[in-house]
Amino acid sequence: MQEKTIELTVNVPTALLVQALVDNIMNGNPLPSDRDNSIPKIGTHWKAQGGIYAGVMSGLDGAPDYHLIVGPAFEYATWDEQKLAVFRLSADGFNDFTLPDRQEQALQFANVPELFESEWYWSGTQHASNSDYAWCQGFGDGDQHCRNKDGKLRARAVRRLIIQ
């Protein structure tokens, strides 16, 4: 059976839309900005989103901008072990966590450094010319360096919420 797409345009007088909105508010229904999924203050828990809000990241190369949410922390492990642990993570019903890339770690250092120990954390960014190395972020001084993936560092999971 073949599906058909039908476009439908409905013209509703503005007065009716305004009255419906007023009726909705008068009946105790919150406006969208008052709902539980409103954007929290940076550094606070984002209810039902799996972590703490770190801010907005610019999408690269035409990709959409997104909200960065910092999830749980992991103790010392190799890069591959951290990637696997983050892949298996589920929080608030979400299982789309990854290690942050280098730019995301810079945002974390700028906006929510209090979430991190003053130590090095793995990023999900592999070195471009040497696959034995990956980038990491120092949360003591803000530096970024490459380390051998066999070394053991901390990690912090992130997830992304696309801005529509």
Q: pLDDT tens-digit profile of 35-76? A: 445 899 999 999 999 999 999 999 988 899 999 999 999 999
Comparing 32 with 134, the larger pLDDT belongs to: 134
pLDDT value at 115 more than 80? yes
Q: Cβ(127)–Cβ(146) under 8 Å?
A: yes
Can you tell me the mean pLDDT for 98-106? Answer: 97
Q: Where does residue 81 rank: exposed (0-12), middle (13-18), buried (19+ CB within 10 A)? A: middle
Comparing 90 with 34, the larger pLDDT belongs to: 90
Confidence of residue 28 (pLDDT cuts 50, 70, 90): low
How confident is the prediction for the chain on average, in pLDDT?
A: 86
The pLDDT of residue 14 is: 58
Q: What is the largest CA-CA distance in the chain?
A: 65
In this structure, of 33-37, 92-96, 137-141, the range with the lowest mean pLDDT score is 33-37
Confidence of residue 30 (pLDDT cuts 50, 70, 90): very low
Rounded CA-CA distance 118/103 in Å is 18
Domains of the chain (ranges plus CATH)?
A: 42-162 (3.10.100)
Can you tell me the mean pLDDT for 134-143? Answer: 97
Enter the pTM of the model: 0.76
Sign of the Cα torsion 42, 48, 37, 164 reads positive
The pLDDT of residue 164 is: 84
